[in-house]
Chain A
Amino acid sequence: MSDNNQPVLDIRAVSGGYGDINILEDVDLKVHAGEVVVIVGPNGAGKSTLMKAAFGLVQVNAGEVLLSGEKITNISPDRLVHKGMSYVPQERNVFPTMSVQENLELGAYIRKDDARAQMDRIFDLFPKLKERRKQAAGLMSGGERQMVAMGRALMIEPTLLMLDEPTAGLAPAYVHQVFDWIRAINDQGVSILMVEQNAKQALRIANRGYVLATGRNRHEDTGERLLADPEIADMFLGGR
């Protein structure tokens, strides 16, 4: 915490995966305070695996992960939550039979207070959730579910929010909105690491981006420059 330049999240030469097989090989990644960092790459590149490795859901076999300078390699997720890290998985990211409000309450599980104020702030960000407070999350549309998922993760007022493909499966109109929310969340001082398939749009709002392929870093640069690089656009950003 002493060094201002210290990254919020620092992934150093991490190798790891499921069981003995390493999916990730020697991956480096940093998120500085206040940044939005995007990971892009083809399907099966290991993007989700990298996030899970940072969040203690996947075994790290070599290298280390630091959170604001503190070593958190292979620490279990329920302890990381206490350190201000929050994660929204790619799939199954709400409690389907529980109401919107209960989803948010679960997000605040570790808080000692009743988290009323934070819930109100989330309702300000997503007014629709306030309207539908009593509705079961599983019965909502994809976009609404994404609001619930993000809202749940924000309940602990995280310093770092990790989002795995927040726009997956959403209608184009909604995709736009999701990026607006992410910017709004970031404006409140939350550092953000996200994986995105809508790479071009994501890189536009990102401070920096990483290109991951077959479990390795391929490129790292500012969002704009990655967007401008024709080779990368060709290889990894597809036609989108």
Chain B
Amino acid sequence: MNYLGFYHYGIYFLTTAGIFGVMALALNIQWGLSGVFNLGIAGFFAVGAYASALMTGAPDPEHWGGFALPLIVGIVAAMLTSGLVAFVIGAATIRLRSDYLAIATLGIAEIIRLVIKNEGEITGGVRGLTGIPSPFNSDNQLVMLAIVLIAVVVLYWLADRARISPWGRVLRGIRENEDAAMAAGKYVTRFRLEAFVVGAAFMGLAGALYASFIGFISPEAFKPVYGTFLIWVMLIAGGSGNNVGALVGTFLVWLVWSFSSLLTDLLPGGLATQAGAVRILLIGLLLQVILLARPEGLFPEKSPPLIGRSRKTRGDIQQKHS
């Protein structure tokens, strides 16, 4: 790679890392701060990407939308739509126990993908949406990077304020004792729902940035592997509950992920076509090792820790369980 290539790659790398960073921070609001288990990140990401693409894209007779509005409108639309979808889903499911919520959110993401695939008149179907403009229709990659970094900084600031605010303290309290909190009813439900909706809105924002950056979206891009799994690896590696951890984790995991392609390029002929699968295998193994060796991540949450606590109820007998 020559200098110029290196430079462009660097910008590409940082921009994607920034978009992932937004999602990791958003997930940290849901899971790290509030213990709301979301396995449907890809779904909210997709909703945001499509909402923004339809607002900002050029008119196309093949599908609805294409209003050619500025990116900021796309971003607002993305956040509102994702937040709204999260609100509707959350209102029904947020009271569920973590394992059920995980199944429910995973299901939502799959259904969102089904809708995108099958409602071609709006979404362009399996062919996707093309020609999504970059910010200000500028060719300069630095503009996109700057916007993404601004989003990361603003979200980081907000998330950090939220963490120490009374709102965040209540959420942490709820998280620390899920079973008791579940029994406490309405008030708890509202707080958890708020965290879920806010997190989802920011996942939508990431989607808007992604659509504008790549310029093309299709249902394939929103499979759980990339949209959901990688974000979880990033947050857990960095340290759930810790916003710095979320960002560092994002950066490192994205580095590992990106450079693992150098490794898979070395694979013998037959395997080279399976490079994607090999990378997933490796990153999956990485997550398992982190979970086993350092579940609190590189930057553990200051206090109180999330993982490693024994559950309050059933804990007495659970401890003897091996």
Contacts and interface: CB of A to CB of B under 8 A. Distances in A.
A56 B320 CA distance: 9
A52 B320 contact: no
B320 A18 contact: no
Nearest to A59: B319
B139 interface: no
Contacts of A52: 316
Interface string B169-201: 000000000000000000000000000000000
A19 B315 contact: yes
A76 interface: yes
Interface of A: 18-19, 52, 56-59, 76-77
Nearest to A17: B316
A18 B318 CA distance: 11
B317 interface: yes
13 contacts: A18-B315, A18-B316, A19-B310, A19-B315, A52-B316, A56-B320, A57-B316, A57-B317, A57-B320, A58-B316, A59-B319, A76-B320, A77-B320
Interface residues of B, number: 6
Given A52-B316, A57-B317, A58-B316, 10 more contacts: A18-B315, A18-B316, A19-B310, A19-B315, A56-B320, A57-B316, A57-B320, A59-B319, A76-B320, A77-B320
Most chain-A CB neighbours within 10 Å: which of B310, B319, B320? B320
Interface string B3-39: 0000000000000000000000000000000000000
A52 B315 CA distance: 12
Scoring B310, B315, B316, B317 by chain A CB atoms within 10 A of each residue's CB, the highest score goes to B316
Nearest to B309: A19
Contacts of B317: 57
Contacts of B310: 19
Contacts of A59: 319
Contacts of A18: 315-316
